[in-house]
Amino acid sequence: MYLKRVELQGFKSFADKSVIEFKQGINGIVGPNGCGKSNITDAIRWVLGEKSAKAMRGDAMTDVIFSGSEDRKPQNLAEVTLVFDNEDHHLEYDANEVEITRRLYRIDKEAEYFINRQPCRLKDITDLIMDSGLGKGSLSIISQNSISAFVSSKPEERRVLFEEAAGVAKYKKRKRESVNKLERTTHNLERAEDIVNELEKQIGPLRRQKEKAERYLSFKEELQDIEVSVLVKMIKDHSFTLKKLNASLDELTQMQATKESGMVVRDHQSEEISKKMYALDQEINTLQGKLLVAMNNVTNLETQKVEIDANRKHLLESDNQKHLEEKIDSLKAILQDVISEYNDRVARLNVLKEEKDALTKRQADNGKKKDQLRKSIEDMNIALHQSRATRERLKDEIENHSRYSQGVRAILKAKASLSGIRGTIGDLCESEPGYETALSVSLGGAHQFIITDEEDDAKKAISFLRHNKAGRATFMPKKTMKPRSLRDHKMVVEAMPGYLGVMSDFVNYPSDIENVILNQLGHIIVADSLDHATMIAKDIHHRYKVVTCEGDVINVGGSLTGGSLHKAHSPFIAKRELEKIEEKIKNEEHSLNEKRILLHESEDLGRELSQALMQKQMSYAKLELVATNKKNELGLRKSEYEALTHESVELEDLSSGSTSSKLIDELNEAKRLRDKLKEDIATKREIRMGYVNDKEAIDSLLKQLRSELKDLEHELTNQKIKKTKLESEIENYLMRLNDEYKMTYEHAQSISREDLEIDSAKDRVRDLRQRIASLGNVNVEAIEQYNEVSSRYEELNNNRLELIKAQDSLLKAIDDMDHIMIEKFTSTFEAINVQFNEVFRYLFGGGHASLHYSDPSNILETGIEIEAQPPGKSAKLHSFSGGENALIALSCLFAIISVRPVPLCILDEVEAALDIANVERFAKYLRQFSDKTQFVVVTHREGTMAECDLLYGATMQQKGVTKLVSVQLKEAVGTNG
């Protein structure tokens, strides 16, 4: 192995990147003082792991970075790379060439290390070169100062050099690590023994607590098994009863609504009848006044007619033939009156018949109307029933979350016993009118996401679901959710046609969940149509979702979703639908009552028409009899007239006469009016009597309805009390399941026992509770604590035994390493001692020198003493000159190299204190070792330069910046020759 090259950049005076190529043998670096040639030695030492800034001739490590000059700016980093030829794999690294790099930055003072350009630690570099002859304290780098210090240093300080030569550094490091490990092991053993002793004291009491806790848990487990089954049975029975009770309540409520509606109609009907009766009384009173006048008028006219008829009769009974003409005229007048009366009765009969026919038609029309009203009421009742069913379904969806997933329903049911559960997004927010569909498609399934106060609340809820196998749910802790918005695109979309806003603008919600709503909806754009939505999505490059009020969606990325929407799946649409159906039911109930009132009015009209028709028929029958009598009288009068005149007459001829016709006409009109008034009064009295009967029936029905309604309300109250009690008991049972056993009803139902006899089970529950109470305070955690302490005791006791074994093993390993180090150090030291004397005698030309231990009884720590006696000198080191001390140190150096050759040795002006003869002797001695050791010699002595195979000249063409020029001496000699 040898150093192939050194690459420097920004290190001390090497401002520019410099590459120094080295050869095997002796490589020299020469130059005047201050030219930076020793910086190469510093660079190699720095890369090989030097951590002392003082050793690098600086105050801080950043002083190695080029600090600038008059013409050059300071560098921000220093970097040096050493490249070794490793074909012999002297370095334990799987590569034929090894690059070691160190880099340091000025600003953050951070250092970086690389082996073959792979990042590593400084420790990796020191481990790589340990015992390779390049380590710290080895002979790889020797300077003039270290040569001077070698002789004058303490014996203990010299030992490091011999340890490196003996190759015991790695053993010493291992021993140091083993000793440290032994100290830690001993400390851990002492600590383990203390803990084991302490745990032994805890195990006894914990065992007793554990046994008590196990009995408690056994009782508790049996109690849970039985009580859960009891609770499930009670909930099931109560739920069945509650279901029947709800059905009964629905029926009673429907009956109540029907009766209340009937009462409203009957009250209205009774009020209307009272009004009609009052109006009829007024009309009858008025008609009676008119009838009295009409009857007086008829009496007066009849009196006049009686007088006329008496005169005519008297004339007709006379035998005086002179009055024959007068008799004929009287009889003719009587006949004319009878004709007039008869014609009047016939005319009145015709009028009555027309009126009777008209009433019959009205009655038929009214009958059809009643049938239509009854059919309409029946249809409206069916529609109202359907609307109420829809309302109940929507209420169930909204209140009982029937369309939510199993997990969400389970959490909402257990909300009272779980902390921090606010509710679902669908429950907590509401859209503005017209945006329900847009909100539904914006959220999708997220309307079921559950909002919690804290993240821990969500974790506990998830644990609850997992424990009960109750499904899954998504939770949104309001404090951890981050709002989202359109950011930089907001101004762009606001200016576009069809843009209405972001979805969160059209939602009402509690202020404390704003982050959740903005997270879900703050970045969703709402447009007025699909065309505008498409334009907006294109302009923002499909980075945000765009929805329309009709439910069309332009998704992120550009896909489109649209078509019809199943409204029942959306809680927002369901809420709006519920509002609409409530309004619809209200309107339908109002319309139904109006129809019922119209039906009752039609029924009243039917009764009035029946009464009027009956009176018309009676009047017609009476008038028909009068007409018949008049007709008979007319025949009699006609016969009398023909007998008197002895000629046949036609009634039409006689009816044109004018004798007394005015009185008869007035009398006929008076009688017509009188009969009409009587008929009207009779009709109205019959109608009023019908109303009296109707009102009595209605009032009786109202009284009955009020009584029935009171009974219904009483029954409803009782049923509601029962329902509340049942619901409260069911809720208590559910709470007990959740609070005591952390179970949902569904999970409890899946594990409950069907074969349980409820009464004996309740007795067993009471017995178990007494047993549990008798145990007193129970530390349930004692089981786990005992197991932990017992397990820890066993583990620590095993660890203690392992530590004892490890302690013994470490002691043996340390002892073995001591023997190895003593053996290696002793053998190496003795070999060096022999070579030291020979080299000394060569360099000094005689004399003798030796090395010996300062403490032979402690080979592992002993210092190294030097005893040297040049020719003609005493053996006292402090009396030698600088050159003599340098020769002694170099003697020791060459002795060590001869025993333990090193791959690289850097000598920095170590021969500076020698005279010319000793320099030449030193240089020739270098040549002896150059086949096994590569030398890099920083020198200014000619004798040393003469032995170099490759020579570099260091100059400073620019102030403060070192430049190197290489010269291969053999080539130079050849050229000169």
| Residues contributing to the annotated binding site | 32-39
Q: Binding site for ATP, residues?
A: 32-39
C-alpha–C-alpha distance, residues 926 and 920, integer Å: 10
β-pair type (26-30, 934-938): parallel
Q: Which two tokens stand for residue 198?
A: 């302490």
Cβ atoms within 10 Å, residue 409: 20
| CA dihedral sign, ordered 499, 504, 509, 512 | negative
The distance in angstroms from the start CA to the end CA of the chain is 34
3-state SS assignment for residue 114: strand
* The pair of three-digit structure tokens given for residue 760, joined into one six-digit string: 């004996």
Distance CA 799, CA 793 (A): 9
Asked if residue 892 lies in contact with residue 865, where contact means CB atoms within 8 angstroms, the answer is no
- Under DSSP, is residue 935 helix (H, G, I), strand (E, B) or coil? strand
Q: With contact defined as beta carbons under 8 Å apart, do 496 and 532 qualify?
A: yes
What dihedral angle (degrees, nearest 10) is formed by the CA atoms of 897, 902, 904, 910? -20
- What is the rounded CA–CA span in Å between residue 482 and residue 473? 20
Q: Which residues contact 376 (CB under 8 A, 6 or more apart)?
A: 595
Ramachandran angles phi, psi of 563, nearest 5°:
115, -160
CB 298 within 8 A of CB 671: yes
Which backbone phi and psi does 469 adopt, to 5 degrees? 50, 45
User: Is 730 in a helix, a strand, or coil?
Assistant: helix
- DSSP, collapsed to helix, strand or coil, labels residue 313 as helix
The CA distance from 149 to 892, in Å, is 13
If we measure between CA atoms, which residue out of 408, 427, 428, 426 comes closest to residue 418? 408
**Cα radius of gyration (the chain):** 65
Residue 278 in 3-state DSSP? helix
Distances (CA, A) of 131 to 88, 99, 159, 172, 520: 15, 18, 15, 11, 66
Q: Quick one: which of 554, 477, 547, 454 has its CA closest to 507?
A: 547
Residue 262's nearest CA partner among 585, 593, 584 is: 593
